[in-house]
Structure 1
Amino acid sequence: MIAVSIPLPRRLLAEFLGTALLVAVVVGSGIAAETLSPGDVGLQLLENSTATVFGLTVLILWFGPVSGAHFNPVVSVADWFLGRRRGAGLSLQEVGAYAVAQVAGGIAGAVLANVMFEVDQGLSAKDRVTDGHLVAEVVATAGLVALIFALVRTGRGALAAPTVGAYIGAAYWFTSSTSFANPAVTIGRVFTDTFAGIAPGSAPAFVAMQVVGLLLGIALTLALYPDAGARADDVVVPHPH
């Protein structure tokens, strides 16, 4: 059977909704954790990370067959860059459209979480920039990109949902930044002054380090799987494109 390409508007809707719900999961579970476990930051992080693992896994399974479930401009850029010489993956114009949908979704998800938990709308005051946090964002983002393309190149894209969810859940704990690893999610989390928020002044540095992580992740992918770009159409999970 020949797969029929899914129109771009449907894919953009999937990316918007998926990113919005991902940020709603991250922010909403953070608010719930603060309420349910006041004074215990470790338990709050455990609750927040557990909800994110399950939520991200579900969202990849839900929207992946439509758009690939990137939910992350870094992943979309890597998809274009690695696939461009093989005629695979997103076009540069599609990358731009995906990024706009993802960032808009990230902001909408934070606003939605604020509404659901009756939190005042406003920008975060949580300054997160330290040298360790910035290094952590490079590590988390590079690992995410390299993991996704390793799965795709070896024909295991169907395992992306639980594997990517598990990686992000683990990175909550092994990185000091709690693994944002996503410019759209970072920008979205600026719009909530809660447990998961990030101050507007911290976000640009986080995004810059995520771009560095993107470049490192691409370099690792090419070193391990030089022909990974041939399977770029299957990122993050196989979908008609």
Structure 2
Amino acid sequence: MNLPRKLIAEFIGTALLLATVVGSGIMGVALADGNDAVALLANAAATAGALYVLIVLFGPISGAHFNPAVTLAMRLRGELRNGETAAYIAVQIVAAIAGVLLAHAMFDLPLIQPGTHVRTGLPQWISEAVATFGLLLTILLGIRHRPTAVPALVASYIFAAYWFTASTSFANPAVTLARSLTETFAGIRPDDVLGFVLAQLVGMLAGCAVAHWLKPNDAGMSIARADERPTDFKPR
């Protein structure tokens, strides 16, 4: 399958994911009547549901990364070349920003509004490292042992990570950057983006290392072909 088709799938999937994250945050706050727990529940449920659908739809086309951390992990595994990796990440970043703008447009808000939600400090950085570490383990071990369950595994993990991490689990550098462009419930202050991204990269590297260490004796085992594992994360 050619690269342009993969990139289009990554663009659509990432944009819809961010529109879901930001849009559900806006709607959740509007309906929660000041109850942050209800708003967070709505945000987490909508994000998990969208992730499941998007991975099922776009996994067979692009691998459904929607996340530079996942793309870099696949590059480390030798599943992508350098040029493909750079193209994936560039498209994910642009698409994530487009998704935020789309959410703002749907709710008649200013398209660009720098985030004001302070998310910094060691607990937040540890949370992002843990969230990304768990996400990479979920993906890498999932495609090894239960490839057809990966969409449900990822969606379930992200739903849980919204609640057990202090940062509400961004776990995605493109998402983090894009969410610095919204003042809404899902936003992050631009000054805090770098700390989140660095923590996410640490978590990604740790997840890759542990997944490799846990590899069984059949070390040559890789992600299966599209006709065998239709929902895995291998770009095709």
TM category, shorter: over 0.9
Residue 43 of structure 1 aligns with which residue?
A: 38
Q: TM-score, normalised by structure 2?
A: 0.93
Asked whether the 8 Å contact 2:132–2:204 carries over to 1, the reply is yes
Aligned to 2:102, which of 106, 112, 118? 112
> Is the 1:153–1:228 contact (alpha carbons within 8 Å) kept by the matching residues of 2?
no
**In structure 2, what is the Cα distance between the partners aligned to 1:165 and 1:238?**
14
2:177 corresponds to = 187
Q: Is the 8 A contact 2:69 2:173 kept in 1?
A: yes
Asked whether the equivalents of residues 79 and 229 of structure 1 are also in contact (C-alpha less than 8 Å), the reply is no
Which string of whole-angstrom CA distances, capped at 9 and with x for unpartnered residues, describes residues 139-158 of structure 1? 0101111111101122x222
CA drift at 1:190: 1.1
Question: In 1, Cα distance between the equivalents of 2:137 and 2:230?
Answer: 12
> Does residue 164 of the first structure (1) align with residue 154 of the second (2)?
yes
Matching of residue 134 in structure 1 with residue 125 in structure 2: yes
Do 2:223 and 2:234's aligned partners in 1 also have CA atoms closer than 8 Å?
A: no
CA–CA separation in structure 1 for the residues paired with 2:221 and 2:137: 12
Matched, 1:62 2:57: yes
Assess, with a 3 A threshold, how the Cα gap between structure 1 residues 163 and 36 changes in structure 2: closer, same or farther: same
Deviation digits for residues 35-86 of structure 1 (CA, Å, limit 9, x no counterpart): 111210011101110111111101111111110100001111111112x2xx
Partner of 1:24: 19
The answer to whether structure 1 residue 176 and structure 2 residue 173 are counterparts is no
| Matching of residue 230 in structure 1 with residue 222 in structure 2 | yes
Equivalent in the alignment of 1:221:
211
- 8 Å Cα contact 1:145-1:217 kept in structure 2: yes
Q: Does 1:151 align with 2:146?
A: no
2:98 pairs with 1:103? no
Q: Which amino acid aligns with 2:103?
A: A
SS, match of residue 119 in structure 1: coil
1:133-192 residue CA offsets vs partner (Å, 9 max, x unmatched): 1000000101111111101122x2221111100000000001110000000111111111
Measure, in 2, the Cα distance between the counterparts of 1:111 and 1:18: 15
Deviation string for 1:93-135 (max 9, x for gaps)?
1111000010011000000000001112211111111211100
Q: Distance in 1 between matches of 2:33 and 2:101?
A: 23
Match of 2:75 among 62, 80, 100: 80
Amino acid at match of 2:58: F
8, 21, 27: which one aligns with 2:3: 8
Aligned equivalents of 2:222 and 2:119: distance in 1? 38
Aligned-pair identity in percent equals 45
Using the TM superposition, give the Cα deviation of residue 239 of structure 1 relative to its aligned residue in structure 2, in angstroms. Answer: 6.1
Q: Which residue of 2 aligns with 1:209?
A: 199
Q: Deviations for 1:17-44, whole angstroms, at most 9, x for unmatched residues?
A: 1011001000000000111112100111
Q: List structure 1 segments (4+ residues) > 4 angstroms apart after TM superposition.
A: 232-236
Partner AA of 1:17 in structure 2: I
TM-score (norm. length: structure 1): 0.91
| Code of the aligned partner of 1:201 | D
For structure 1, the 5+ residue unaligned runs are: 1-5
Query: For residue 221 of structure 1, what is the amino acid of its counterpart?
Result: A
Query: What is the match of residue 47 of structure 2?
Result: 52
